[in-house]
């Protein structure tokens, strides 16, 4: 009779230690927030109370002004997305492996990482001292904040592109610039356009938050009426924000899907 060599049972020591440490961190975080646990059961009742004040019924008298302020927020988001794309695409291409020199590639990636570490609100507060309380401040904050993420998407897309076209251009005697123009850019352009539209969707949501710190748009109006506790107007503003944001998301999502489907069709045609 053959005795089977059963492998030893894997140790659960380190997963257990990590789970205990994670639990301690959660407990310490909850204790540091100074939460009044006696008020927690009242939260559902208070939520229903303020929902009734905001939406029963909303105040539609300020709708024209709300639509104008929402248009300003959308304008901030769109111009910020354009600024982000115009700056991040060339810098992201230079940060890709095989395109820019090592010193430039590492420097740009470090800049992108620093920008991603700073929230849009902090950038807006810094810009407020220079540009003042204007929608221009919000546009700049959205554009600068997006460069970190968009630049990372650019160089990762280039580095993940198929190398066949690049090798063909190099074999024909092409330079790095020619490889970038005729091989890398056609391969990643659809994905980068899709990322640009997605950045616009993100900016739409963030622009409302920037308005709360004085950057203008629907966020400023929402902050003002919340401070004056005019809940029926606040409810109307929330309806405007949700409806417009969902409509833009639907349109942008359809465009992004069409771009990517067209790109896949082109790849299948070239491989056939």
Q: What does CATH list as the number for 61-271?
A: 1.10.3720.10
CB 83 within 8 A of CB 115: no
| Model-wide pTM > 0.85 | no
For 28, other C-beta atoms within 10 Å of its C-beta total 10
Distance CA 93, CA 98 (A): 10
**In this structure, what are the phi and psi dihedrals at residue 132, rounded to the nearest 5 degrees?**
85, -175
> Of 194, 85, 234, 103, nearest to 147 (Cα)?
85
Mean pLDDT computed over 257-272: 62
CA 90 to chain centre: 19
138: pLDDT strictly greater than 80:
yes
Could you report the per-residue pLDDT of 216-244, keeping only the tens digit for each?
A: 788 888 888 888 888 888 889 999 999 99
Domain boundaries, the chain: 61-271
Q: What is the mean pLDDT of residues 116-126?
A: 87
Q: pLDDT at position 2, please?
A: 56
**pLDDT(42) > 70:** yes
Query: Are the CB atoms for 187 and 162 separated by under 8 Å?
Result: yes
pLDDT value for 165: 65
| CA–centroid distance for 251 within its chain | 17
pLDDT in tens, 169-191: 666 666 667 667 766 777 788 88
Higher pLDDT, 27 or 241: 241
Q: Per-residue pLDDT for 111 more than 90?
A: yes
> What is residue 167's predicted lDDT score, i.e. its pLDDT?
61
């Amino acid at each position: 009779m053959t005795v089977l060599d059963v492998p030893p049972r894997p140790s659960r020591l380190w997963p257990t230690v990590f789970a205990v440490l994670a639990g301690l961190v959660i407990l310490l975080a909850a204790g540091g927030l100074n939460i009044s646990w006696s008020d927690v059961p009242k939260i559902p009742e208070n939520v229903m109370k303020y929902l009734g004040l905001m939406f029963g019924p909303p105040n539609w008298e300020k709708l024209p002004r709300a639509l104008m302020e929402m248009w300003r927020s959308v304008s901030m988001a769109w111009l910020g997305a354009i600024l982000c794309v115009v700056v991040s695409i060339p810098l992201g291409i230079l940060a890709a492996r095989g395109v820019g020199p090592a010193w430039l590639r590492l420097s740009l990636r470090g800049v992108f990482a620093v920008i991603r570490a700073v929230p849009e609100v902090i950038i807006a507060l810094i810009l407020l001292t220079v540009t003042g309380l204007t929608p221009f401040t919000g546009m700049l904050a959205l554009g600068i904040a997006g460069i970190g993420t968009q630049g990372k998407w650019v160089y990762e897309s280039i580095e993940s592109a198929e190398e066949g076209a690049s090798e063909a251009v190099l074999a024909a005697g092409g330079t790095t610039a020619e490889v970038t123009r005729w091989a890398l850019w056609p391969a990643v352009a659809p994905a980068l356009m899709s990322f640009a539209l997605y950045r616009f969707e993100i900016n739409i949501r963030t622009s409302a938050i920037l308005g709360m710190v004085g950057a203008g748009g629907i966020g400023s109006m929402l902050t003002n009426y919340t401070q004056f506790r005019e809940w029926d107007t606040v409810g109307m503003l929330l309806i405007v924000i949700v409806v417009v944001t969902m409509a833009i998301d639907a349109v942008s999502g359809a465009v992004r899907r069409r771009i990517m489907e067209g790109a896949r069709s082109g790849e299948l045609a070239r491989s056939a």
